[in-house]
Amino acid sequence: MAVRRTQVQTTLNGEETDFLCEPRQSLLEVLRDELGLTGTKEGCNNGNCGACSVLVNGRVANACCVLGVEAENAEITTIEGIADGDKLHPLQQAFLEEAALQCGICTPGFIVSSKALLDSEPELDEERIRFWLAGNLCRCTGYDKIVRAVLKAAGTSDNG
Amino acid sequence: MQEITYLAPTSLGDVYTALADGKRSVLLAGGTDIIVQLREGRSDAEQVIDLKHIPELTQFAFNSSGDLKIGAAVPFAEIYENAEIIDRLPALIDCATLVGGIQIQSRAGFGGNLCNASPAADTTPALIALGAILHIGSANQVRELPVEDFFLGPGQNALEDGEILLQIVVPNPGSNSAAYFHRFIPRNEMDIAVANAGVSLTLNDARDRIENARVAIGAVAPTTLLVSEAAEALIGKEPGEAAFAAAGDAAANAATPITDMRGSAAQRVHLSRVLTVRALERALKRIEEN
Ligand SMILES: Cc1cc2nc3c(=O)[nH]c(=O)nc-3n(C[C@H](O)[C@H](O)[C@H](O)COP(=O)(O)OP(=O)(O)OC[C@H]3O[C@@H](n4cnc5c(N)ncnc54)[C@H](O)[C@@H]3O)c2cc1C
Ligand code: FES
Ligand code: FES
């Protein structure tokens, strides 16, 4: 039986985007396999690790727990939409400067998730950052450097 | 995962029609339970009906009596960002901020948590303690059910074929009243409860006597338990150590837990007592601070 594909219209990283997908596909599969946006990573595929974090209408969600078809009329932001052209987002800059990554699999998720935090809460302390990032797992860094990078980005930018 | 069709109805009538079309359907709220179940082959659904485009299910508001009505597809983040709910029903905030991490709370909500009917669900004890009433709809009628009567067993709720959960109504607790939700997990966040407890206390105006109380404990039986013996140990007594200890004993007696990888039965019985006592102390503190 031919698999039926659904047409979905969405705003992806600020651009009107149309794609075809099967209703059973997750947004993570659509991003990586249909649209070639492989910056969003797959860790657990069941909602636990946050490697697949994307923004859906401004809120951070796990793309593995969203159906691609749910993106209809939504605004999706992935790690590819975080930098301003060649200019890194302050979070990306801070992750580099603080060496807040090793293998890098968790990094796009941490940056997208931290961006949602910086966008919604300008006043941040370490505890708030650690609480917010509890849904993002990293097996390499031990978290301290990540938290330091987010604190630095929060302090050095107007989060634009 | 098998092939599925996806529907995004914009009215309740269309949901009821879709539920009656003979296909094996599942409802989709935040998807943090159901999408994982579908993808892991634990659901044989042919059709997914998304509830997030239906106004009655995606809104929440206090009515003129101060009761809060929450649509079954409202995500936790919208609830815990609301200043009025933070002020008037802090026990809802206790549990909403503990379900998963931020990514889960953006999508998941009370409706999905209840319908999934996990014995360890984190919003059930607080909703039972607060005396929440569920509004359940079908093509023919809307019926009301106290939340403690909604669970038949692990993963089994009281919805009949063709019925959906519409709203959760949390009655106005009134003055001299507060609730508290408490959970024990080995980590600080992102884990399933070893045990949890939700309590509510209402005092007289002099605040030296308990007029009403409800105690609910979770993850220690096939469904979350409303422990009437704990309420009986509290009502009419002076709020404080003696009454709270008696309520803790009643909670421990009511618990019939199993041993699993998260904790032993004995530990869970102990936790039921400790969490109940601490939740009562903190509910009392909330009343005193108001
Ligand atoms: C990483 C992770 C961490 C988690 N942590 C916790 C935790 O700490 N505590 C906890 O309690 N849970 C936890 N959960 C489980 C889950 O997130 C919660 O149960 C959540 O509240 C479910 O809500 P939802 O809107 O995502 O439900 P969905 O997955 O959309 O739905 C859940 C079930 O209810 C049915 N349903 C949904 N809406 C209706 C309706 N209106 N009428 C009838 N049936 C309906 C669905 O068909 C499905 O069977 C976690 C899950 C993950 C993936
Ligand atoms: S891959 Fe989505 S949360 Fe782990
Ligand atoms: S850098 Fe390797 S998982 Fe985080």
Q: Which atom of ligand 3 is nearest the CA belonging to A146?
A: 4
Contact B36, A47 (CB under 8 A): yes
Computed over every residue of chain A, the mean pLDDT equals: 94
Contact B211, B183 (CB under 8 A): no
- Share above pLDDT 90 across residues of chain A, in percent, rounded to a whole number: 91
Q: Which residues have CB under 8 Å from B42's CB, separation 6+?
A: none
Residues B141 and B238 in one domain: no
pLDDT tier for residue A159 given thresholds of 50, 70 and 90: very low
CATH number of the domain encompassing residue B144: 3.30.465.10
User: What is the number of alpha carbons within 13 Å of residue B204 lying toward its C-beta?
Assistant: 11
pLDDT (tens digit per residue) in A104-114: 999 999 999 99
Residues of A in contact with B77 (CB under 8 A): 59
Q: How far is CA B261 from the centre of its chain?
A: 24
Contact A23, B35 (CB under 8 A): no
Residues B190 and B133 in one domain: no
> Domain ends where: B105, B137, B170?
B170
According to CATH, what is the number of the domain A6-81?
3.10.20.30
With CA atoms as reference, report the closest residue to B217 among B229, B233, B206: B229
pLDDT (tens digit per residue) in B53-106: 999 999 999 999 999 999 999 999 999 999 999 999 999 999 999 999 999 999
* A59 → closest Cβ in B5, B52, B77: B77
Residue B67 in tokens: 């009761």
Query: So where are chain A's domains?
Result: 6-81, 90-154
Residues B126 and B215 in one domain: no
State the residue for tokens 């007289």.
B204
Residues B189 and B266 in one domain: yes
Q: In this predicted structure, what is the pLDDT of residue A4? A: 81
Q: Which residues have CB under 8 Å from A71's CB, separation 6+?
A: A8, A10, A12, A27, A30, A56
With CA atoms as reference, report the closest residue to B248 among B235, B236, B233: B233
Three-state DSSP class for residue B87: helix
CB contact under 8 A, B48 and A47: no
Note down the domain range covering B125.
55-170
Residues B88 and B104 in one domain: yes
| Residues 50-69 in A contacting B (C-alpha not used; CB under 8 Å) | 50, 53, 56, 59-62, 64-67, 69
> Domain ends where: B116, B151, B170?
B170
What is the whole-number distance in angstroms between the Cα of residue A105 and the centre of ligand 3? Answer: 5
CB contact under 8 A, A48 and B190: yes
pLDDT tier for residue A156 given thresholds of 50, 70 and 90: low
Residues B208 and B274 in one domain: yes
Contact B124, B137 (CB under 8 A): no
For the full predicted model, state whether its pTM sits above 0.90.
Answer: yes
Q: Is B3 on the interface with A (CB under 8 A)?
A: yes
CB contact under 8 A, A72 and B35: no
Q: In this predicted structure, what is the pLDDT of residue B261? A: 87
Q: In this predicted structure, what is the pLDDT of residue B1? A: 64
Interval A136-140 mean pLDDT:
96
Q: Which residues of B202-222 are buried (b: 16+ CB within 10 A; e: fewer)?
A: bbeeeeeebebbbbbbbbbbe
Residues of B in contact with A23 (CB under 8 A): 3-6, 48
Contact B194, B262 (CB under 8 A): yes
ipTM for the predicted complex comes to 0.94
pLDDT (tens digit per residue) in B182-201: 999 887 777 889 999 999 99
According to CATH, what is the number of the domain A90-154?
1.10.150.120
Query: CA dihedral in degrees (B244, B246, B248, B254; nearest 10)?
Result: -150
Three-state DSSP class for residue B207: coil
Locate the chain B residue with the closest alpha carbon to A114.
Answer: B102
State how many domains chain B has.
3
User: What is the number of alpha carbons within 13 Å of residue B38 lying toward its C-beta?
Assistant: 28
Residues B91 and B181 in one domain: no
- Share above pLDDT 70 across residues of chain A, in percent, rounded to a whole number: 95
pLDDT beneath 70: ranges in chain B: 1
CATH number of the domain encompassing residue B252: 3.30.390.50
Locate the chain B residue with the closest alpha carbon to A127.
Answer: B188
Q: In this predicted structure, what is the pLDDT of residue B3? A: 85
Residue B75 in tokens: 């995500």
pLDDT (tens digit per residue) in A18-32: 999 999 999 999 999
Which amino acid, one-letter code, is at B6? Y
A106 lines ligand 3 (CB under 6 A): yes
